[in-house]
Amino acid sequence: MKPHTQGLSAIALPTPSTLDDIVFEHRNKAYGAYELRTHYTTNINRALLIGIGFFGLMLLTNFLFARQKDESQLIVVEHSPIKLPDEPLPELEKPKEVEPPKPIEQQRTVAYLEPKVVEETMEETPPPSQTEIEGAIISDKSNPGTDTDEIAAAPPTETKSVEKTIIELPEEDNTAFITVEVQPSFMGGNSEMYKFLGKNLKYPSAAQRANIQGKVFLSFIVEKDGSITDIETMKGIGFGCDEEAMRVVKLMPKWIAGKQNGRNVRVKFTIPVFFRLDD
């Protein structure tokens, strides 16, 4: 039995022609994406052509500039030496001849020796006569020469008095230094000094009852012979501790004196004295 086909007509549906039509089938093609995709190849080719045109234009511009530079003319300036006129040079003045110094005319002298007492005379030379002495200078030797009116000057008879100069020695400097080249020190060093203080120091009973502890700072002068003077309390704690510290410092033996420029000098020194209760 054949199928019944009467009254039916076949409808041909349009088929997409490109990939873009297939992708955007049943979609809104007016949104813009469809147009971008369809014109993408055209835009790429156009941009490529424009880039090639710009690149060619740059090459052409460089070529034209290089050609113009080669065609520029080189200007050569010729320098011709200037010939100076031949003029005679001025003559230099000849230096004046210096006359040689005239020789000094030697004065005539006559030997006149002082008479001396001798035991035996081998050969006596008589003194010159008055006629020979006139017009001559008295000397120890006789020399021929011209006469002169000058005579030998007699030696001075008076002697100059010698002035006595009294050199006053500087007064002894008793300035108390604070810093010197060699500082004063206790015999044996600081350790021996604190042993001496600990051995002779007595804790005041008032300070013990009040439970007073601390440091008493004392200043004193170490004299040139090492003795200690001018003991003062710089900072104390009271309750008899200040007086006890001064008493023990007065008992100290002589120190090694300080030195400045190799000499013993007075030096002001400061030490702390400790007061501490045993637990």
* pTM score: 0.40
**CB contact at 8 A, 184 and 258:** yes
b (16+ CB within 10 A) / e for 95-112:
eeeeeeeeeeeebbbbeb
Q: Which of 10, 61, 19 is nearest to 40 (CA)?
A: 19
Instruction: Write out the chain's pLDDT in tens, 279 residues.
Output: 444 544 444 444 555 567 777 777 767 767 777 777 777 888 899 999 999 999 999 999 988 888 776 665 555 556 566 666 677 777 777 777 777 777 776 666 666 555 565 555 555 566 666 666 666 666 666 666 666 655 554 555 555 565 655 545 455 667 889 889 999 999 999 899 999 998 999 999 999 999 999 999 999 999 999 999 999 999 999 999 999 999 999 999 999 999 999 899 999 999 999 998 876
Largest CA distance in the chain: 206
CA distances (Å), origin 265, targets 165, 254, 255: 30, 14, 12
b (16+ CB within 10 A) / e for 27-59:
eeeeeeebeeeeeeeeeeeeeeeeeeeeeeeee
Residue partners of 239: CB distance under 8 A and separation at least 6 = 204, 206, 207, 210, 212
**CB contact at 8 A, 261 and 170:** no
